[in-house]
Structure 1
Amino acid sequence: MSKKGLLGLLLLALGAVVIGSVTALPQQQPVSDFDIDLPDLGIWEKERMDGGYYTIVDEDNNVLDKTAREVHLDDEFIAANNRHYRVERIKGDTAYARLIMENALADTAPKSAPALLPVQGNNTANNLIAMYHTHSAESYVPTDGTESIPGNGGIYKVGEQLAAKLKEKGIEVAYDKTPHEPHDADAYRRSRRTAVELMKKTPAAIIDIHRDGVPDPDFYYSNVSGEDVTKVRLVVGRQNQNMQANLDFAKEIKAQLDQYYPGLVHGIFMAKGNYNQDLSPRSILIEVGTHTNKRELAEKGAVLFADAIPTVLGISPTEKTPVGALETDKGDRGSLVWLIVIFLIGAGLFLLLSTGSLRGSLDKLKQFSSREWSDVMGSSRGGPAAKTALNKPEDDQQDE
């Protein structure tokens, strides 16, 4: 190959290296940067332990929601009909909320058209969902016989069904079953260590699986697509830097499930507290039914819930293949475009160097099959250089 041909190849290689470094994907925040002990963690992330619960009503005293979670001023929730409310007053077990938006999901469209390729084998981090239980004793009375089983709550069975469905869809699951009893103010401190360990695997999303403590089993009951299930509530912590990203994630999940299984999602509750959701911009807490529901119904609800996760994240290689892609996919496409651009630039520089003038470059481009160009591309297209090597006697090739 001529010196000019070699220079052209070097220019192409240099361009690829430069573009590769410029378009490198943003990395997950290093796990070492996470604070294991947060001063305020556990102060606000509390639930009623006295058997009571809060009823949230609107200005006309119409019941909007019920929850055993501690309700605070400025907590917000998006109801099943997508109406967005904010709590403005609390008196005893009643919280009074005001409507602040008619349709909180107006700008959140479900993904539907199949467009993605299957996840690549070397991109497993983005094909991974992490799961754990902060309140690992939570159970379902009709099935488990009690509302709490330390170290082995019925909630694990619900998590297992969710994990199994995700795996069935080709999604990898990191499911940590570490118990975090007792069910007290420090539970989220203990589960934080579990969540941090899971984040070392760089999952696409991390899910903390719970159930509610509202006494009425009908409050979470639903019949979806002819099947009896419990509803699923999504909870987003208001006091962390990822609040908006996690809320957007929750909205996308609800929009997807509203399309797949109307009536499955009870709503999205934006609660005062962190809930360890500072660890990831795709962190969500879910409540699958309540303690007075049959666990089997909660398991069925979790299985239906699983359908939305890979679709929303853009990582499903089977069944409901999503139209949206992770930013990693966008980055890959961007890199490909830039590599094409740099190839064209390199080819142009090669022609310019080999001819010494713009006119000469244009003449070379018109001919396209010139010897200089064949020196660069010949080996991969069976050009002169390749043919010369192929026509050499076997002994000569071995000597080389």
Structure 2
Amino acid sequence: MLIISQRKCYTRKKQYWSKVIILVGAAILLLSYFCLNNYTIPVITPSSFDLPTTHFRSQWHGVLSQGIPGLQTVIEPPHPPKKPPHIVKAVLRNLLLFFTEIDITDIRSLFRAEIPVASIFTIPPQVSIVSLPSLPKVSQSDLPKRGKPLVGIYHTHTSESFIPNSGVTHTPGGQRGDIVEVGAAMVKQFAKHNVIAIQSSDIHDYPSFMKAYNKSEITVQQMVKENPSLQALFDIHRDAGRRDETTVVINGVPMARILIIVGKGQPGLEQPRWEQNYAFAKAIDDKLNQYYPGVSLGMDVVDWRYNQHLHPHALLFEMGCQYNTKEETIRTIEIIADIVAEILAK
């Protein structure tokens, strides 16, 4: 109990000092802006009482509207605002760099954060499961390297959850979200095909969501080093969007749709294995369309890496959206495991 109390105290202190740093930075920013733009705080003097009230209102509105865009639509300032001086830009840059590691003067820093971008899709079709073929049975003798892990599963955004199950999109305070249970279901499904899969439930997106890929890269490096037998690596996410775009109904049973992300890399973030990853993604997507048409949202090739430079069969799965249920997503991840087991057997 003493250790838990000390940890809570440490967390509160850390949160307190973070707020202090933000407030001090904001104060420096505002003071710098006022001083360099020659703003004068009105002082009550006998002559100032003779000025109309609207004079003070418009003057202060001009100051406040610099930081509150909504005020600009109420009363326009009498003079166009001056452009922020260089020192204000520098303060903004340093604050943003300190808290997010994004440098507004270097676009590559945004790419290093590797923030996924949600896509927009059409309304999913309804498919009857009656006409779908059964997956071929995979025998243990068909699988390579029996007794060793063949699949690695991890979650860069470990806190991702489903609103119908947890009431939130992300669990707070470094807790594991519903997406970790989806990964665990995939491990169990692989076991039915005598495929050993390992899962890392390490938390990567806390305390910094922006640094999640830096932490998950370390996890992947360790998984690959300790398990050279791995044939595939999957980073399982929960996508963001609308339920009608990320759900397909098969024989009356709703299932979450899946988008496969392939990182192509870019200058400074090279990805020499992207074509191998793409071929692996294509094999999975083709079999999804063959066995379960409508479940796949296809593949998205992006100019980032998502740790896929660390293995020739590394992919990122975007499963459903925040409005899907965990159960709908598990149904989909189970058929993905079936398909991958078939591919590995070949």
Write the letter of the residue equivalent to 1:172: I
The residue aligned with 1:372 is none
Aligned residue number for residue 223 of structure 1 = 249
Q: Classify the secondary structure of the residue corresponding to 1:290.
A: coil
Change in Cα spacing, 1:220 to 1:43, as seen in structure 2 (3 Å) is same
Output the TM-score relative to the length of structure 1.
0.51
Question: 2:200 corresponds to which residue?
Answer: 176
Note the 1:1-400 alignment, pairs <5 A: 43=112, 45-47=114-116, 55=120, 64=121, 118-119=141-142, 123-125=146-148, 128-149=150-171, 150-182=174-206, 184-200=209-225, 201-202=227-228, 203-214=230-241, 216-239=242-265, 240-314=271-345, 325=346
When Rg is computed on C-alpha atoms for both structures, the one with the higher figure is 1
Give the AA of the match of 1:118.
Answer: S
> 1:264 Cα deviation (Å)?
1.3
Question: For 1:293 and 1:238, how far apart are their aligned partners in 2?
Answer: 29
Contact 2:138 2:193 in 1 (8 A): no
Distance 1:218 1:192, change over 3 A: same
Q: Supply the distance in 2 between the matched residues of 1:137 and 1:115 (Cα, whole angstroms).
A: 34
3-state secondary structure, aligned to 1:43: helix
Q: CA RMSD in A?
A: 2.9
Q: Is the contact made by 1:237 and 1:274 (CA closer than 8 Å) also made in structure 2? A: yes
Q: Secondary structure at the match of 1:249?
A: helix
Letter in structure 2 aligned against 1:175: Q
Structure 1 contact 44–272 (Cα < 8 Å) conserved = no
Offset at residue 185 of structure 1 (A) = 2.7
How many residue pairs get aligned? The number is: 222
Decide which moves more: 304-313 or 282-291: 304-313
- Secondary structure at the aligned position of 1:235 is classed as strand
Partner amino acid, structure 2, of 1:228: P
Mark the CA change 1:309 to 1:242 in structure 2 (over 3 Å): closer, same or farther.
same
Note closer, same or farther for the CA distance 1:114–1:168 as it changes in structure 2 (3 Å cut): closer
Which whole-Å CA distance do the structure 2 matches of 1:199 and 1:54 have between them? 30
Q: Higher mean Cα deviation, 259-268 or 129-138?
A: 259-268
Q: Deviations over 1:252-299 (max 9, x none)?
A: 001112122111111111112011001111001001101111121111
SS in 2 for 1:307: helix
Letter matched to residue 154 of structure 2: Y
Give the whole-Å Cα distance in 1 for the aligned partners of 2:247 and 2:144: 39
Greater share of residues in strand = 1
Letter in 1 for 2:248: S
Compared CA separation, residues 40 and 171, structure 1 to 2 (3 A): farther
Q: Deviations over 1:205-239 (max 9, x none)?
A: 0000001111x111101013542110111000011
Whether the aligned pair in 2 keeps the contact of 1:42 and 1:187 (CA below 8 Å) is no
With over 3 angstroms needed to count, the CA separation of the structure-2 counterparts of 1:236 and 1:40, relative to structure 1, is farther
- The structure, 1 or 2, with the larger RCO (C-alpha pairs under 8 Å, 6+ apart) is 1
Q: Give the 3-state SS of the residue equivalent to 1:167 in structure 2.
A: helix
Identity of aligned residues (%): 26
Matched position secondary structure for 1:229: strand
Provide closer, same or farther for how the CA distance between residues 300 and 121 of structure 1 changes in structure 2, counting only shifts above 3 A. closer
Equivalent-residue separation in structure 2 for 1:226 and 1:45 (angstroms): 37
Would you say the 8 A contact 1:196–1:279 is kept in 2? yes
TM-score w.r.t. length of structure 2: 0.58
| Higher fraction of helix | 2
Give the conservation status (yes or no) of the 8 Å contact 2:277–2:314.
yes
**Equivalent residue letter for 2:240:** G
Q: Secondary structure at the match of 2:278?
A: helix
The Cα shift of 1:312 comes to 1.4
